[in-house]
Amino acid sequence: MGEWKISGFREVRELGAGAQGRVVLARHEETGFPVAVKYVVVGPDPAPLESLRREAEMLARVQSPHVARLYQLVEGEHGAALVMEAVDGVSLKVVLAEHGRLDPQAALTVLKGSLLGLAAAHAVGVVHRDYKPANVVVPEDGRSKLIDFGIASAAGSASRSGTPSYMAPEQWEAGEAGPSADVYAATCVFYECVMGRRPFGADSAVGLRGQHLTAAVPLEDFSVPLRPLVARGLAKDPAERHAGAVEFVAELESVARAAYGDDWEGRGIRALAAAAAGLSMLFPLAAAGISAPAGTAAAGAAAGTAGAGGAGTSGTAVAGAGNTAAGFLAKASVVKAALVVAGATAAGTVGVVTYETTRPEAAAAPAVTLASLDRTYPDRVLRVQGGQYAQVKGLKNATVQTAANRALRVPLDQAVTFYKEWGKTAAARAACGGGTNLLAMSVVKGLTGPDLVSVRYVPKFQRRCGKGPGYFHPGFVVTVDLRTGRALTADDVFKPASFGKAGMTRLWDALPDGDDKLQLMRGHSGSGGFFNPLGRHAFFLDPQSPESPPMALPFFGKSRFGLVYAGLDGGVSEFDLGRTSAYDFAIAYGEVKDLFRPELAARLPV
């Protein structure tokens, strides 16, 4: 096995080895691009090869900067190998061994990053089944990533596979393991990060099984604001947990903001990065004297047991997706399930590529089409006529496409809800005298792929009667991640620190001067002078006006960033602020891109 190598890569150093295989750090000979290669032995027992094939199949489905990236699965007469991106970092297992426990904000941060990886997997029907500290990596920027899909499976598969300390009750009983099983394991890890010990610590498999199946979660010493999050995540009944990682992330962010303030994640990232930086001598690329490729998203080394083939791989470097892949990646065209010939030339290096992936940005853009709603709401004297909304076609995953199209329809539904308010009361409806208010909607397309679609909806409202719910006219915008089908929130767009005074001042100053900015400034000036209307609160729903979208909405155009802000109605000041639509400000990406999260900024036009 030690003599069999795939062609085109020069081995730099071994990172770990076990009975059935090893993991090495290598460089692509043509470009010098570093990769991690996981080898397994091909022998009489087909299980290791089948396991590696399954891992490749699961990884090939998932596209996320928070998940290990597969480049190739190569099979030969004497062995098989996964080629993955190699990056610098250490496993959470190593961090905890060094520091014992983490500050709650750092623990929440490491949980969020890897949960986003789980969310991408869950969106395409993949359950990880082995979430544990050894499979969560912490790079130097503190943003955690999920690795090792060695025992991952399609959602609903039944198996006892997993690591006992983190296995959900249904895994212990060989029941069907869905996304909520990953939620359970992630909550166990979160508990360990905060408390410095696992929630259940019996020293035998039988004892652990009993604790996971029936024992109460020990929360007496756990941080009070975080207890409900942990109690729900560790519920014995899968139906009582979060349905999947997306739901878990949403509650995590809400709990974290309430407990630690809006900048909780910024502080957590700094604390986590400091913890990882103290272990930088263990980073695989640094130890080998290799610089990380410019522009790649960092991930790290897993210290633990390789999921595929059972190879003990302390220091395994398998890592996350980057947006600037090397030349050999650009040559790959699509994910291939059929066999294609690899260019093997030397004796002992013959292999066949059974999976090969391309860069995300090289993927074909989806088709963005327009659908239309025509409907009358007599109970609110509103008629929607030509209510356009965007839809996508051509996504390979039907579940993700359905979720994306549901998210793309939301702004139209918001507009209908908002303009139905004009006919809310009986008096307003009577005043119409048999007439009806009219609403039409047009669509402005921004980015349309390959993995982001951003759309702005422009309403045309003809009021015949009634009174609106407020003094402003909201904007309607949605940006959808086509890898997961999820609509981005402002927290997905902006760095936590960008919501501070300095960041929001920069955003305000970037708005182009003109009548719109002047009127917006006038509308937000009082006896104390001008106050910046931009802040985190402006980008989220006002609980006092749930029928209205947020005041501010980010829009990603094909060449410029757009900020859509609610238009002010007349009669609110001595100035003429009468308006029937939202303000739309276009800003050069270069002026504000550094306010965005790096993983988002890397996916936007230069």
* 514-531 pLDDT per residue, tens: 888 888 888 888 788 888
Residue with tokens 């409907």: 375
Assess whether pLDDT exceeds 50 at residue 67: yes
Identity at 377, one-letter amino acid code: Y
Active site (catalytic) residues: 130
d(CA 69, CA 322): 8
So what's the pLDDT on residue 240? 92
**Among 480, 456, 453, CA closest to 388:** 456
How far CA 94 is from CA of 66, 232, 257, in Å, comes to: 19, 27, 28
- Is residue 334 within 8 Å of 39, Cβ to Cβ? no
Q: What are φ and ψ of residue 71, in 5° steps?
A: -105, -50
So what's the pLDDT on residue 508? 94
Helix H segments across 261-290?
264-277, 284-287
d(CA 300, CA 320): 8
**Among 122, 130, 120, CA closest to 166:** 130
Average pLDDT of span 196-217: 92
Average pLDDT of span 532-549: 81
d(CA 38, CA 27): 13
Domains plus CATH for the chain? 9-84+302-358 (3.30.200.20), 90-282 (1.10.510.10), 367-601 (no CATH)
Strand partners of residue 34: 27
d(CA 288, CA 309): 25
Average pLDDT of span 277-304: 54
Helix H segments across 39-91?
47-61
- Is residue 88 within 8 Å of 292, Cβ to Cβ? yes
Cα dihedral sign, 255-258-259-265: positive
Binning pLDDT at 50, 70 and 90, where does residue 510 land?
very high
Average pLDDT of span 482-498: 90
Contacts of residue 188, defined as CB under 8 A and 6 or more positions apart, other chains included, come to 165, 166, 198, 199, 200, 234
d(CA 147, CA 36): 12
Identity at 13, one-letter amino acid code: R
So what's the pLDDT on residue 58? 73
Cα dihedral sign, 42-46-47-50: positive
**Parallel/antiparallel/unpaired status of strands 476-481 and 486-487:** antiparallel
Binning pLDDT at 50, 70 and 90, where does residue 280 land?
low
Assess whether pLDDT exceeds 80 at residue 563: yes
d(CA 88, CA 50): 29
So what's the pLDDT on residue 377? 92
Report angle CA 140, 13, 144 to the nearest 5 degrees: 25
Percent of the chain with pLDDT over 70: 78
Identity at 571, one-letter amino acid code: G
Assess whether pLDDT exceeds 60 at residue 474: yes
